[in-house]
Amino acid sequence: MNVNILFLIFQLCVLIFSVMIHEISHGFVAEKLGDPTARLAGRLTLNPLRHIDLFGSIILPLVLFLGHSPVVLGWAKPVPYNPFNLRKDFKYGPLKVALAGPISNILILLILGGGARIAFSYLSPALVSLFAFVAFLNVSLAVFNLLPIPPLDGSKILPLLFPKIAFNIERFGFYGIFFVFIFLMFFSKVIAVITTYIFVLVSGPQVATHMFQFFNTLSR
């Protein structure tokens, strides 16, 4: 099988796993705060079929990959939750639920990126690069999801912090997906620069250099 196809499949698998953990984290925190909506909807599961979004999990990543974007990003189906059920923390509960997804991606970054940094001298460069790539994609997802554009988490976090702009963000509604696509087409390098800085900070310059060289070789 063509190496480019294998690389694409690998990226899609890592992406789907990462966005799945992201969404489960939203539902898990909501459950802990008193809202069983995600569990009752069958979304607190590791079955990827319950989470895959046709556009966000398949079409968008394919378009970015084929367009040679510096980052391949996407999302899963949003986990449903009812803020009125967050009886354990009505005030900050919605903020905690919204932050749970990006925080899960940052934790994966810290575990695998930090692990790759420690294991760099003991494991093969290829294996370290695979771990590092998972870390890199997850920090990309964290940065990406904090954009204040629906349906991303940033569109839910900012109104909680700045209620006066809530209406201006929410009125985008479904059309926010198109704004996300446009942003990625023209400003994906901004996400790539921020992502790379954070990634190098955690994994170290040696791991980052080997990872980029390894995957640049595969993608030729």
If one counts the domains in the chain, the total is 1
| pLDDT tens for the chain, residues 1 to 220 | 566 777 788 888 999 999 999 999 999 999 999 999 999 999 999 999 899 988 888 888 888 877 777 677 888 888 998 989 999 988 889 889 999 999 999 999 999 999 999 998 888 888 898 999 999 999 999 999 998 887 788 877 777 766 666 666 666 666 777 777 788 778 888 888 999 999 999 999 999 998 888 877 766 6
CA 25 to chain centre: 12
Q: How far apart are CA 159 and CA 138, in angstroms?
A: 24
Closest CA to 60 of 140, 157, 156: 140
Q: How far apart are CA 56 and CA 62, in angstroms?
A: 10
pLDDT recorded at residue 143: 94
For 44, other C-beta atoms within 10 Å of its C-beta total 18
Question: What is the domain extent for residue 189?
Answer: 3-218
Task: Identify whether 23 is a catalytic site residue.
Answer: yes
Closest CA to 202 of 155, 143, 124: 143
pTM of the model: 0.88
Q: How far apart are CA 79 and CA 73, in angstroms?
A: 18
Catalytic residue among 15, 19, 23, 145: 23
